[in-house]
């Protein structure tokens, strides 16, 4: 059986040219070359990018999941890749064996749908929020999980053909959870592999002006789209309490409250709740879909 072919998608707004150049160079330095690299410009023409990649400039900013969908569709339509690696434009691959390891993982397990990389800062430290499990004390513990990191991950092309791509209308926040829950419900595995490292500056998601609004709106959409009805109020109740306990900004709480109302009042993009056996599977993995 031939080894999986690797494609790469990077989405940029053109605001980090030096970081983007370094990332593309690190992709090109891999000892297993990518079959195709697609660079999507969210409302940026990409005229300053000299790298030999497939460039798709967009006139409109489609958000992170919308931009990724453009890149995914280009690769899936070409039909010459089996695994797609997606990377944040301010990330960096610090070793040259990442694609080789990704290829080996997918070759060994046809049911592997998603591989989550470990995100580490310049000092090699991984923030707690970047470990996709509840017991996040040891970021070096690999294994099956129920979530993955949007900044650096790999996706199975056959999985995407079955379950679909990102929920583009989310724009920002929780699109990874929607995709992860769909993958698990279809029987695909998600693996956290800390040996696959994406170096990324230490940041907070709250740096984005839309963070509080979209995190609330999209959580409501996520629950409406993917959870069995009895779990919807439990999931939202847990996250409302957590957010109220964590947030100290009055303006942030105001935007968050507006996002909650928006999530209730606006279309969520269609409802297809996960099966109860998926709920049980996630619970056995240590993270039931209410936490």
Determine which of 11-15, 74-78, 137-141, 247-251 has the lowest per-residue pLDDT on average. 247-251
Helix or strand holding residue 23 (H, E) = helix 17-28
Q: What is the pLDDT of residue 135?
A: 83
Q: Report which of 174, 145, 162 is spatially closest to residue 65, judged by C-alpha positions.
A: 174
Q: Report which of 88, 55, 90 is spatially closest to residue 74, judged by C-alpha positions.
A: 55
Q: What is the pLDDT of residue 251?
A: 87
CB 42 within 8 A of CB 62: yes
Q: What is the pLDDT of residue 172?
A: 94
Determine which of 104-118, 156-170, 243-257, 258-272 has the lowest per-residue pLDDT on average. 243-257
Determine which of 110-124, 141-155, 245-259 has the lowest per-residue pLDDT on average. 245-259
Each residue's pLDDT tens digit, 72-92: 999 999 999 999 999 999 999
Q: Residues 242, 248, 253, 255: is their CA dihedral positive or negative?
A: negative
pLDDT over 80 (residue 208): no
Tokens of 251: 């303006």
Q: What is the pLDDT of residue 132?
A: 93
Q: What is the pLDDT of residue 252?
A: 87
pLDDT over 70 (residue 265): yes
Q: What is the pLDDT of residue 136?
A: 82
Compute and round to an integer the Cα radius of gyration of the chain. 18
Residue 274 pLDDT level (bands cut at 50, 70, 90): very high
Residue 206 pLDDT level (bands cut at 50, 70, 90): low
Q: What is the pLDDT of residue 58?
A: 98
Tell me the DSSP string of 97-115: -HHHHHHHHHHH-TTEEEE
Q: Report which of 235, 215, 239, 238 is spatially closest to residue 224, judged by C-alpha positions.
A: 235
Q: What is the pLDDT of residue 248?
A: 82
Residue that is written with structure tokens 């040996």 in the block: 195
Q: Report the predicted TM-score, pTM, of the whole model to 2 decimal places.
A: 0.96
CB atoms within 10 A of CB 37: 23
Tokens of 163: 């379950």
> pLDDT averaged over the chain?
95
pLDDT over 80 (residue 254): yes
- Paired strand residues for 190: 114
CB atoms within 10 A of CB 25: 12
* Percent of the chain whose pLDDT exceeds 90: 90
């Amino acid at each position: 059986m031939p080894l999986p072919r690797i494609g790469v998608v990077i989405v940029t707004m053109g605001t980090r040219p030096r970081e983007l150049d370094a990332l593309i160079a690190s992709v090109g330095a891999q000892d297993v070359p990518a079959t195709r690299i697609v660079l999507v410009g969210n409302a940026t023409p990409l005229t300053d990018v000299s790298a030999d990649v497939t460039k798709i400039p967009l006139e409109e900013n489609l958000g992170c999941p919308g931009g990724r969908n453009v890149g995914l569709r280009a690769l899936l339509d070409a039909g010459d890749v089996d695994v797609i690696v997606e990377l944040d434009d301010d990330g960096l691959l610090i070793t040259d064996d990442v694609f080789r390891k990704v290829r080996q993982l997918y070759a060994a397990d046809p049911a592997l749908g998603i591989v989550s990389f470990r995100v580490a800062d310049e000092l090699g430290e991984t923030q707690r929020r970047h470990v996709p499990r509840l017991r996040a004390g040891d970021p070096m513990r690999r294994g099956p999980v129920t979530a993955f990191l949007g900044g650096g991950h790999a996706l199975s092309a056959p999985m995407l053909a079955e379950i679909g791509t990102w929920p583009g209308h989310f724009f920002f926040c929780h699109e990874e959870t929607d995709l992860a829950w769909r993958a698990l419900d279809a029987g695909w595995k998600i693996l956290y592999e800390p040996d696959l490292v994406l170096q990324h500056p230490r940041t907070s998601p709250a740096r984005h002006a839309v963070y509080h609004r979209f995190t609330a709106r999209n959580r409501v959409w996520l629950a409406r789209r993917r959870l069995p009805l009895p779990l919807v109020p439990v999931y939202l109740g847990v996250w409302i309490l957590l957010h109220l306990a964590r947030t100290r900004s009055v303006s942030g709480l105001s935007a968050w409250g507006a996002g909650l109302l928006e999530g209730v009042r606006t279309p969520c993009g269609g409802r297809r709740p996960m099966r109860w056996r998926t709920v049980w599977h996630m619970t056995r993995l240590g993270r039931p879909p209410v936490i």
